[in-house]
Amino acid sequence: MLPLLLLSVSVWSADRLQQGQERKRNPLSLTEQIELIFASIDAIDIVTPSGGDYGSSVVRSEEQRHEERLLQQPNRTVRRYSYDSPMEDACTPELSGQWDRFRSQWNENARTGAGYVVYGNLSALLAAGYECLFDPLGTYLLLLATATTTVARKQSVQEGQKEKEEDEQKEEKVEWPHEGPQQERQNERDQLLAVLRLIWSRQGAFRVFVQLHSTVLTYDPFASSPPWQENEEEEEEEVPDANKCPVDRQNPAHGVLIDMANGAPLPSVPWHNFHGLPVRVEVFRSVYSNPVTRGGATMTTVYRGADITARDVLQQYLNITVIHVPADADLFGDRMPNGSFTGAMGRLVRREVDVVFTGFFIKDYFTRDLEFTASVYSDAVCCLVRKARRIPEYLLPLYIFPADIWAMLVGLGVLCSVCWAALRATLQWVRTRAAGERLMAATTTTAGGWLSRRYRWAVLFNHSRTIRRASRGRQLLQIVIDTYILLLSAPYQRFTRAGAERLFLAGLLLVSLIFVSLYQSGLAAVFVNPLYGRDISSLAQLDESEMAIPVKYRGFLDDVFAVNYSTRMDSLRRRMVHLPVQESMLTRVARLGNIATVTRKSSLALDNAVYMATRQLHLIPECPRTYNLAYVLQRRSVFGECFNRVLLRMVGGGLVQHWIDRMRYEWTLRNWRVVQSMMESNFKVLTVLDMQFAFCVLTIGLSLALFAIAGELLNHHYS
């Protein structure tokens, strides 16, 4: 079995080698090259110029011939339309209604990866401003790019055949061709390579095929250049180009010109190995990307965080070279009144960067020139207000129990007073009825005597002489006073002699013992843990407070409160204002106190955790919105599929969340002093200042006693 397998492999290898040699000896014709380019494409547009620049008869004959060949494949759609050369830049939006219709017709099949057969000169198209029509997903074939007549085409074919015959006759003897035609062809190839590199750099399109004489050439940006080509390009003197983007992606070590006549495979995006292809990456300060300045001879700024770790892993896995593009002061960027964008979004729209490795909210940014990668994490947008003021120490004993507990204690005192009064009245009625009226009448002497009914009740209930002679209302008031004295566990001198009352008062003392113990333990707790006033805990309370909500970034105006969702959301949305100040908005809220602001919830656990640790700000638990965040690419970027594949593996494996947790732990280590101060705040040594409430109560009591004694002395002096 093994010899047969080896024999079949050797036969298959020999067949492939023979096919490759035959392909080198017999180059593909122009029609075969076109069929190879559009073999997997079912929708093809044939675009012809409407003017007479290239000769209508020539274009028509070539168009019919290629259209017949392209229609031979089943389930394929071929349509034809023409274009006019604009007077101004064709990429300028809303130039004219005719141009807008043509652009919409041109881009109709671009998102599905359609093919385009364009009759026209590539340099002329770029000069006319048609470079914006090249889409990264489209396949473009430009015919008649150099040979504009059939005569020139036939001459080029005859020259190619003549050179082929001369090479076959002189196989053993190497004879260099004439320097003139060879140098001219090399110049044409160099110019075409520069143009295709420009299209790749500015538009991200690499499936652009150009007819050059009898062959079709294309540019493969992912292939590595041969060593001799690198040396030649290094020796050439660089000439500054005014049309070149400042950060164009051009690396002599990558990108080669492919001749389709040799049967070379079509350019395609690599699966996981880009062979060090340079990729322009922008990173700026955000929650998961923090700048760190490194000292030394030259001060350099590097970034650390979960976003940077994801970028490094993706760089290592895909074997790309990261070219860091510095950010500006606009960071995320914003949409200007004229429709342009600033910041990172502006550079993506202008294709000055390939990807921004800083998390963006996945939402509508009012442009179709951006694309998001797979979502890497989520975050909520929450409102912040200043933490309520700390309760003064002289009022802390009143805040041990909440208001409802204090109200319950007052109500309990009233209820116990009523029960005590009812119990005493019942005892009097039972004892009076048991003794009998006759016995009471026989033993009763003058009112107030030692055998009178009032005297016997005073002895039973241990009344004082003043209470014994007082009215019934005064006696009821004394019961209420005694009830609260017992509830407060205060000293009680005249305990009753009635057994039923003693049982009732014993239960009252047990209840008093529980509440007094809770109060004493809470009294120590409020001095150890500072108490604050009531914070705003909902969006409804924030709406009732009528606070302004300034934000530093204009994007928050549309990101926080939903439009036409509820009257409360609309009211809060109207209070948001854009306030571009240098001061941190969180610092401003903590300093003023009469405004609120908006921030990401994750930032409160990292960059802005010091505000929460020091109790300067309060996070409203009710967050109005939650977003998924992703990195941003150019529209229809060729890197989208590769990046998403790697990012999804990171997210699915829990790596991104692990990196975020590690950032939080590193923040704890860096700010250990703040964390340690928070831990030490659980222990407090009580001082005289903490006991000032007791001294205040004592001072008030002594003052009232002094006024009472003075009043009695004055009354005794004048009576």
Beta strands in 340-473 (DSSP E): 355-361, 370-372, 377-386
Mean pLDDT is lowest, of 80-94, 310-324, 384-398, 502-516, for 80-94
User: Looking at the predicted structure, is the pLDDT value of residue 492 above 50?
Assistant: yes
Output the pLDDT for position 246: 41
Q: Which residue has the higher pLDDT, 465 or 115?
A: 115
Output the pLDDT for position 373: 93
| Tokens at 577, concatenated | 């204002």
What's CA 25's distance to the chain center, in Å?
A: 58
What's CA 127's distance to the chain center, in Å?
A: 41
pTM of the predicted model as reported, rounded to 2 decimal places: 0.70
Nearest residue to 321 via CA among 290, 297, 354, 359 = 354
Return phi, psi of residue 558, to 5°. Answer: -105, -5
The number of helix segments (H) and strand segments (E) in the chain equals 25, 19
Output the pLDDT for position 701: 86
- 226-264 pLDDT, tens digit per residue, is 544 444 444 443 443 434 444 445 555 678 888 888 878
- 568-622 pLDDT, tens digit per residue, is 888 998 899 988 888 888 888 988 888 999 988 888 877 777 787 778 888 898 8
User: Looking at the predicted structure, is the pLDDT value of residue 659 above 80?
Assistant: yes
User: Looking at the predicted structure, is the pLDDT value of residue 282 above 90?
Assistant: yes
Q: Which residue has the tokens 């732990």?
A: 665
SS3 206: coil
Mean pLDDT is lowest, of 17-26, 290-299, 468-477, 645-654, for 17-26
Q: Which residue has the higher pLDDT, 685 or 342?
A: 342
705-711: average pLDDT: 91
265-283: average pLDDT: 88
Residue 343 · residue 626 · CB < 8 Å: no
pLDDT above 70 coverage of the chain, percent: 69
User: Looking at the predicted structure, is the pLDDT value of residue 171 above 70?
Assistant: no
Q: Which residue has the tokens 């908005």?
A: 585
Q: Which residue has the higher pLDDT, 184 or 311?
A: 311
Q: Which residue has the higher pLDDT, 676 or 490?
A: 490
692-701: average pLDDT: 80
Highest mean pLDDT among 3-7, 185-189, 310-314: 310-314
